[in-house]
Amino acid sequence: MKRKTPNCSYDELVQLRQDGLVMDLDFIMMHPDDELKEEFKSFCEAHDREMDEESASEFLSRMEEGLELGMECGDA
């Protein structure tokens, strides 16, 4: 079943997540870049996980860690 998602800009979506109004799974599903959804789907398939809140939280944590590491190394 496809979720009905409101149209939010990336910045609005980040703010909603920071305010606790949007959970991690909704953040991914509402994200304006479909590539993020595909990466999440691939992550779940590769790790034999359901596309649920727990998986979404782990996926976003890993992405954020990768971005932080890239910034420290000057790659991001």
Model pLDDT for residues 10-52, shown as the tens digit of each residue: 999 999 999 999 999 999 999 998 999 999 999 999 999 999 9
pLDDT at 6 exceeding the cut of 80? no
Model pLDDT for residues 63-75, shown as the tens digit of each residue: 988 766 555 666 5
What per-residue confidence (pLDDT) applies to 1? Answer: 35
d(CA 50, CA 34): 18
Q: Are 6 and 31 spatial neighbours (Cβ–Cβ below 8 Å)?
A: no
Q: How far is residue 8 from each of residues 14, 15, 21, 49, 73, measured CA to CA in Å? A: 10, 10, 13, 27, 32
What per-residue confidence (pLDDT) applies to 24? Answer: 97
